[in-house]
Amino acid sequence: MSYKSYILKIKEVEVPICIKNYKSAKTMKIFFKEEGIVLTKPFYVPKREVDFFLQTKEEKIYEKYKNLAELKRQKEERWETGKTILYQGEEYQIEKCYHKEDCIRIRMEKEQKRFYLFLPEQIQKEEEQEWIEKAVKKLLKNNTESMLKEKLPFWSKKMNIPYQSVKVRDAKTRYGSCLPKTKELHFTSRLIMLKEEAVDAIVVHELCHIVYPNHQKEFYTFVEKYIPNYKEIDSYLKQIEKTKKLEI
């Protein structure tokens, strides 16, 4: 595989496109990724065909590029003072401060609902976001693991459903999953961002999958035996997904 940069001028903007050549490619395709726009093509396709192909997709490329640029802008502003982060189901206002230490420190004030980020004075602006995201993700993972160490044994004993192992990862699209045969449970490290009753419902949901691998009627009856307001919590979780409040 080889690649090169390409600039496509559309209206008032110059759109950077990464062109990647693949021996196995049979046609040209465009992918719109968070990090940018990528065109894949076979090695033998000449530049004039690439130019023509991109011209036929100009309108779509323009709209997607504008959307990606806006998402990038929002992400860069994500950790500015005054923005918020969800923690245990409540909105905490972010306060970004600077100190003389060569590390990031995070302090939460539960009563004031403040999420303080202490950054090194000498940190470069372009490095801030990466440093903050690493520190926040580590905090969420540690706190989620601590929370699950209490909740999983409690619910496992109450439901009489043993499990073998637990893994916590920075999953963005799933709250949890279960491998019934091995009794292995997976959870997103962002569980700590949800209100406690929602975490209980997710834990119960995954433990129930050890007994009922699929989402049949008996499965939901079993879940609601322990979480009577499961449907209400499920609506809350879908709303959280829709509003993207767990994104970092």
The pLDDT tens digits of the residues spanning 113-156 come to: 999 999 999 988 878 888 999 999 999 999 999 999 999 999 99
Q: Per-residue pLDDT tens for 195-239? A: 999 999 999 999 999 999 999 999 999 999 999 999 999 999 999
Backbone φ and ψ for 127, nearest 5 degrees, come out as -95, -20
pTM for this prediction: 0.77
- DSSP-derived letter for residue 120 is E
- Spatial distance between the Cα atoms of 207 and 21, rounded to a whole number of angstroms: 46
- Spatial distance between the Cα atoms of 131 and 122, rounded to a whole number of angstroms: 13
Domain residue spans of the chain: 2-76, 84-243
- pLDDT grade for 3, boundaries at 50, 70 and 90: low
What is the fold, at CATH topology level, of the domain defined by 84-243? Answer: Zincin-like (3.30.2010)
- pLDDT grade for 244, boundaries at 50, 70 and 90: confident
Q: How high is the pLDDT of residue 2? A: 58
Q: Token digits for 66?
A: 């504008």
* Over residues 155-183, mean pLDDT: 95
Cβ contacts of 155 within 8 Å, gap of 6 or more: 200, 203, 204, 207, 226
Does the structure show a pLDDT above 80 at 243?
yes
